[in-house]
Structure 1
Amino acid sequence: MNRTARADDTRIERRLQAERLVGPHALREAQALRFAVFSGELKAKLKGAEQGLDMDDFDAHCRHIGVRDLNTGRLVATTRLLDHQAARGLGRFYSEEEFSLHGLSGLQGPVLEIGRTCVDAAYRNGGTIAVLWAELAEVLNEGRYSYLMGCASISMQDGGIQAQAVMQRLRDRYLCNEHLRAEPKKPLPSLDIPSNVIAEVPPLLKAYMRLGAKVCGEPCWDEEFQVADVFILLKRDNLCPRYARHFKAAV
């Protein structure tokens, strides 16, 4: 599936294409991009850092998708997907390392977990996310998944001010425990901030909210990544109509 966007600074039309990342070489490309973003920007402590990669035991059990710039051949965005069957074989979803997910077993229909999503800083815009989302939609439709869940991160490099301020906004509009309640295993450190402090919601978290996702509880402090992880759940039936065309009904 192709999507294009124009880069105003170079006047060169970017030709972006989504793809399934299959095989060892493609996986290493995804791990290298993840390392560049998570280690370079967040200063995360990553397994595989000595090789310039972000890797863990979940990678081999996940499907990986990405977005490639056809002009340069570079992988510029990636995410990984773990479905309920693979998670059953592993004994857990990745999110369960950070949260106790009350109600998970009661969800009606198959579940797909999204994680390790990252976009090259030079491509961090709506166009790139739209290409990635369209490929995600294909995977959701092929597997007839009823729910998409996972974590979205907020930087803690400022000591937690942004995370607390963002959560103040999310609680009012997006907090919902109707289907699942996510209890963080390591809650954020207590921090008293004024109610009028404003913080920008990170682009990926904002994108999930626009799709119709809900926040299922308070965030978890991931010290290795130096972020606050917010657990999100998207029921496919509740997709925002504006974006539902990307997630057309499976046939």
Structure 2
Amino acid sequence: MLDTATRANAAFASPLDVLRGQPLGRIGTLEIRLAANAGEVAAAQELRYKVFYEECGAGRHSAPSTDRRDADRFDDICDHLLVFDTAMPGPRHRQIVGTYRLLGQEAAQKSGGFYSQDEFALDALIDRHPTKRFLELGRSCVLPAYRSKRTIEALWQGIWAYVTQNRVDAMVGCASFHGVQPQAHAEALSYLWHHCRANAEWSVSAVAKRYHRMDLMPLEAVGTKSALLGLPPLIKGYLRVGARIGDGCVIDDDFGTVDVFIVMPVGAIGARYVNYYTGEANRSAG
């Protein structure tokens, strides 16, 4: 079997494709790069299992993993962005403290579609933009001790380097609220509906059979401060860099979450973030 990272690169290659194993960013002792071998991918899957299954209770409707990894068919066609704490003792793959899974459009189309298409009608968006290259972000995961602004910035350094070098036009993916009751997040979901929805050009709807309304409260009843406090940090981070939200949310019973769709046209990302992450990545990797 081909090394996971090699297969992903072959499917999502470009003249400026990222160099395997080379740092894409660095903040203090944190280093960001793509998984270079199957062992590092396995370590990322183990980290995901710790967070999603052991901490958050995912997998309630599926057979338990005997190897204690969160893994599926998409792992073999994705690139895996990793954050290493180089100050940690032990072998390199045991220094992984955060990860993101990156699925390019070419790889997805050759392998049956994007992961999020089971929940959201992504085909319609892609059809409206036939000349643009899409990248799906997923399986965002950071160990509890590293859930800080510094780690998030390290991840974004790596994402931005990847997006730039692979000429990506738009990033998409799901983001989650904990629990399976949309009403428990009524104010936050309503805030996203009223203030953060994508326009017609970039709109994506939840698939009809899984669609749940997000406009659970009228505009005048939504308090901005309390709604923002109710948003998961990942969603707030996406909104800060210019992301918009799709139409409708989806309940993921197996992972125990309420999912919304994130769409980030690269051209809509704020200039200050582009300058910041481009500059930081260049300085760190240089």
Q: TM-score range by the shorter chain?
A: 0.7 to 0.9
Contact 2:190 2:216 in 1 (8 A): no
2:146 to 109, 119, 123: 123
1:38-77 paired onto structure 2 within 5 Å = 38-45=52-59, 49-72=65-88, 73-77=94-98
* Partner SS for 1:175: coil
Mapped to 2, the partners of 1:110 and 1:248 lie a distance apart of 19
2:272 to 220, 242, 245: 242
Mapped to 1, the partners of 2:217 and 2:34 lie a distance apart of 43
Residues 126-184 of structure 1, C-alpha deviation per residue, up to 9 Å, x if partnerless? 11010010011111011111101111111116x33443321111122210132233222
Higher normalized strand content (fraction of residues): 1
The offset of 1:187, in angstroms, is 2.7
Change in Cα spacing, 1:189 to 1:248, as seen in structure 2 (3 Å) is closer
TM-score, normalization: structure 2? 0.77
Higher mean C-alpha displacement, 193-202 vs 42-51 = 193-202
Q: Name the counterpart of 1:152.
A: 175
Change in Cα spacing, 1:143 to 1:191, as seen in structure 2 (3 Å) is closer
Q: Name the counterpart of 1:3.
A: 27
Change in Cα spacing, 1:247 to 1:179, as seen in structure 2 (3 Å) is farther
Mapped to 2, the partners of 1:214 and 1:238 lie a distance apart of 10
Higher normalized helix content (fraction of residues): 2
Residues 15-55 of structure 1, C-alpha deviation per residue, up to 9 Å, x if partnerless? 11112112110001110111111112221116762211000
Change in Cα spacing, 1:81 to 1:178, as seen in structure 2 (3 Å) is same
- The runs of 5 or more residues in structure 1 that have no matched partner are 5-14
1:124-143 paired onto structure 2 within 5 Å = 124-143=147-166
Mapped to 1, the partners of 2:202 and 2:214 lie a distance apart of 24
Contact 1:161 1:193 in 2 (8 A): no
Contact 1:153 1:228 in 2 (8 A): yes
Contact 2:189 2:216 in 1 (8 A): no
2:234 to 192, 201, 204: 204
Mapped to 1, the partners of 2:214 and 2:235 lie a distance apart of 22
Change in Cα spacing, 1:47 to 1:153, as seen in structure 2 (3 Å) is farther
The offset of 1:220, in angstroms, is 1.1
The offset of 1:63, in angstroms, is 0.4
1:218-233 paired onto structure 2 within 5 Å = 218-233=248-263
1:85 aligns with 2:106: yes
**Number of residue pairs the alignment of both structures matches:** 239
Identity %: 29
1:114 aligns with 2:128: no
Counterpart amino acid of residue 30 in structure 2: L
- The runs of 5 or more residues in structure 2 that have no matched partner are 1-24, 89-93, 280-286
Contact 1:156 1:163 in 2 (8 A): no
Q: Name the counterpart of 2:50.
A: 36
Q: Name the counterpart of 1:10.
A: none
Mapped to 2, the partners of 1:115 and 1:208 lie a distance apart of 13
Mapped to 1, the partners of 2:189 and 2:238 lie a distance apart of 15
Mapped to 2, the partners of 1:230 and 1:33 lie a distance apart of 23
Residues 70-92 of structure 1, C-alpha deviation per residue, up to 9 Å, x if partnerless? 11152111001111100110121
The offset of 1:224, in angstroms, is 0.7
